[in-house]
Structure 1
Amino acid sequence: MGKPRILYVDDEIINLTNFEQSFSREYEIFTAISGEEALATLAKSEPMHIVLTDQRMPGISGVDLLSQMRELYPDTIRMILTAFTDTRYMIDSINRGHVYRYIVKPWDEDELRMAIKHAVDLHELNMNNRLLTEELKEKNKSLEKLNQELGKRVEERTRDLNKANGILATTNRELSEKLAQLQAAKEEMATLRNLVPICSYCKKIRDDKDFWQELEMFMLTNSDFKFTHSVCPGCYESLIRPELDEFKKKKLADKKDKSLA
């Protein structure tokens, strides 16, 4: 990093020489003998850290020079040398040129050295603040852009999620319908399996191999039923009792025949 740059403006050559000899070791010194020359030097040089100018000069005065510099080079620290101590004049200089500090002539080297050091520190602080402000603006822009991109991504993900949820809901609904249809089919199949073909005349039953069986045999082979034989009252009266009565009659007849013999 180079030395801080100072432009000293004075219409007296001896003052320019003394200033350059006093401060050239610490700073890069530029000199101008008039306000016009100072503006030309500023136009063709790198930005100055400090411009220190005498007030009373032919042509452009020190206050007028600093007033123009305020518009053209706002970052440069502006200081003025004056032999006047009138308060109204000092206030006018500060208001018009935004003068950082005024130095009373003839200047004291130690006092001027301290004033220049403070001005250089102020310039560096201003530049750092500007740099930080610009960096902060850039970061804010980047953050805003990132937030916009993030917002877009969230919107896209939300749309995708809503779409996926819609598909999932449709799939679940279709699956529920399929399950209901399957359950109905199972119940229908169970009903069909429970339908057993039986002959209307002989009462034989057809099994799943298309073989006709007696009811009793079908039940024994296709269920857990165990049969015990008995006679119902109707069959007893219509079948068994007549046979018993016939048997008794026959037995009585046999006894009668034996007694006659």
Structure 2
Amino acid sequence: MSPTERPVILAVDDEPENLDLLERTLGLDYDVRVAHSGAEALEILGQLTDVALIITDQRMPGMTGTEFLSKARLRRADAVRMIVTGYTSPADLIDAINSSNVFRFVTKPWDIDHMLSMVRRALRIYEAGGGDLLDEVTGLPNRRLLRRELDREVARTARTPRPLALKAIRVDGYADYAASRGPIAAEMLLTALADSLRAALRQVDVLGVHGDGVFLAVLPECAASDPVSDRIVAAARSRVAVREALEGFPALRISVDEARMPEQGTSVRDLLQALALES
């Protein structure tokens, strides 16, 4: 895609009014193509040379959004993938993330500003290398993409007097929990925790996976007085899957550590070392 071309977004939904809303919301800045079914969308994908983002409804006749995205991933692995849905169960969430590496679930009815923010973030991922820069369990940015976002925020903060905070959210005892309860339970815990962290953080914050059972949040312009850590722990415990895991496995706990720029350093390495995430 050349700098003068608008990013192509493929929107898929069997309800015309939903497609119309997406076109009106995104059409001014992006080249929005629409399809009324998964089968039609696959045909369109075969005709296009460049698709940056795919936004699909989950419940459609003939082919669900999850099924469509798993097929679309084979044709356009670099396209970032989002699902819009009015209903999701934990099993649906895990299936979608594992089969098609979904970047975001957006619940109906969606807020226009929130949708625009998610689309902008999805397109940054596409420009950085595509949907395969996402963690396959949670759909969050993986360590490689997270490092790029962190480099960008540290460079931006260095040019301004505004603060920057990093939060390392650890699932202490995760390896033992996964070995004891099995991979499905471990994945359900991580997806529920990732969902709770998204809800606790702001749209401008960057959340990603730094390692097994370790999340990293990058919080620009976050004041030292902001009780983010308390909010994170409270949000995590509010999720049934997380709360049941914590109560049923005493060795499991959620811990949050913080590093601030410039107090703990002025480079990415300084900050990660302060969090014991880099030697």
Q: Which has the higher strand share?
A: 2
Bigger relative contact order, structure 1 or 2 (CA pairs below 8 A, ≥6 apart): 2
Structure 1 or 2: more helix by fraction: 1
TM-score (norm 1): 0.48
